[in-house]
Amino acid sequence: MGPAFRQRRHFFYLTGAETPGCAVTYDITRDFLVLWIPYNDPKRALWFGKTPSIEDYRTITAVDDVRLINGLERFFSRTLSPGSTLYVLDPEQAPTLTTTKGIIQIDTSKLRPAIDAARVIKTEYEINMIRRANTISSAAHRAILARLKRLSNEREIEAIFRGFCLAQGAKHQAYPVIAGSGTAASCLHYEDNNQQLEGKQLVIIDASCEWNCYASDITRTMPIDGKFSTEAQAIYSIVQRMQEEVIERIKPGVVFYTLHLHACIVAVTELLKLGILHNGTASEIFNKGTVAAFFPHGLGHHVGLEVHDVSGYEDLLVGSATAGVAGAGLLGGYSGYSKAGPQRRSNGPSSKREWMSPEMLSIMYRNTVTVRPPYKSRQTLQKNMVVTIEPGIYFSKDYIKACFLDNPLHAKYINTKVLEKYWDVGGVRIEDCILVTNTGYDNLTSAPKGDDMLKIING
């Protein structure tokens, strides 16, 4: 057997079909959507089971018609007249048109951006799917809380989470489970999940399932023994304030990157109070971008058919203003395979969880003073967008030393004597999925946090 099939998300968005080897066409002039499926070979059914038939797909999807894919060539021949344009998602998906009459233009540049833009605003159906994924994932986080003090290894956390979701009918995780304890909590995409919990202060659990191909994305940070140390409590309170104040500002018309800047302002102000940052005003330190030593990633991203979903024609957070800065007719389509299971979230400058370098943050800060609205290439929140709000404070010793303590521009603002007390905290991140509503927001995530979280841990 090969890798498990995972439908291409653009294809699923158009059809709702999860069978491999399909195609879809949409006749723009007729407003007619056709799903093309392969013949259901009875011998193949012996090994892999029966796939949905034409009648099945006509019942379970909203397409206008379902046909066998061996008739697709004839369809093109009848439908495409000389001078027609065939819009294709990817160049490698362009069909070989041998029976059409005259010259047919094949456009491979316009379809993907158009679908991306459509996917940014969720339908009621999509919102219900994302809400269901959040409900199951939140309950799985609660299950971990109830057993946390009896666990001894990170792998037990992963096992509980995955098993709970599976028992609820959510077979697929939206991404690999992250269960990082101690200093591993400072690693944004930690995946080992095999270290002992004893002697560690905190564990970051970043884990969420899919429901009917739609993702959720939730992170909680928990004190392993049920009590925060003084240092861990201080950092948790900062991150909690960052998230709460940002979420309260969500509504249509808000430019998302201003929310990131607000989270940074909170972080700078509070880290100054703790003495981790010093030798400058909040404005001065923010202007230098030094807070990126401790909050090194973007505030959030879209959620939908992918955990880091498409953002359409504009970037949600990092737009053209930081480009180049270090660290920063008829249409058709086909279904296909990808590697088994959820894909690892890349890190670094090309990550979908955007790396926020001090240079990028400094430019964003200065733009709030020098650039007036509207902010070009910076996305404005709209009703029925679903975004994550995931602030964090981390103490990654290698990263902070190499990029900040060894750099005089930033080193003078970081108090190494005070910082020494916080290395063992590792990091804190709190992440929820937020639906933008007509007048504000709806938090789709119900996983306990704060005092409610502590009550469950301590029984």
Q: What is the pLDDT of residue 43?
A: 86
Q: Which of 64-73, 358-367, 369-378 has the lowest mean pLDDT?
A: 369-378
Strand runs labelled E in 216-294: 219-223
Residue percentage of the chain with pLDDT more than 70: 89
Q: Which of 60-69, 375-384, 444-453 has the lowest mean pLDDT?
A: 375-384
Helices and strands counted in the chain (H then E): 15, 16
Closest CA to 313 of 112, 107, 122: 112
Q: Per residue in 248-303, pLDDT tens? A: 999 999 999 999 999 999 999 999 999 999 999 999 999 999 999 999 999 999 99
pLDDT reading at 436 higher than 80: yes
Q: What is the pLDDT of residue 375?
A: 61
Q: Per residue in 165-199, pLDDT tens? A: 999 999 999 999 999 999 999 999 999 999 999 99
Q: What is the pLDDT of residue 320?
A: 40
Q: How far is CA 253 from CA 103, 248, 271, in A?
A: 45, 14, 30
Cα angle value 354/356/362 (rounded, 5°): 145
Could you tell me which residues are beta bridge partners of residue 386?
435
Q: What is the pLDDT of residue 456?
A: 98
Buried b (16+ CB within 10 A) or exposed e, 365-396: bebeeeeeeebeebbbbeebbbbbbbbbbbbb
Q: Per residue in 302-353, pLDDT tens? A: 999 999 999 999 999 865 444 344 444 555 555 553 333 444 444 333 344 6
Report yes or no: 433 and 218 within 8 Å, Cβ to Cβ.
Answer: yes
Angle, in degrees to the nearest 10, between helices 256-274 and 230-248: 150
Structure tokens at 76: 């093109």
Average pLDDT over residues 119-129: 98
Report yes or no: 391 and 263 within 8 Å, Cβ to Cβ.
Answer: yes
Go through the chain and tell me how many residues it has.
459
pLDDT reading at 367 higher than 50: yes
pLDDT reading at 123 higher than 70: yes
Q: Which of 139-143, 264-268, 331-335, 395-399 has the lowest mean pLDDT?
A: 331-335
CB atoms within 10 A of CB 74: 10
For the chain, the average pLDDT equals: 90
Query: Half-sphere exposure of residue 87, counting CA atoms within 13 Å on the CB side?
Result: 14
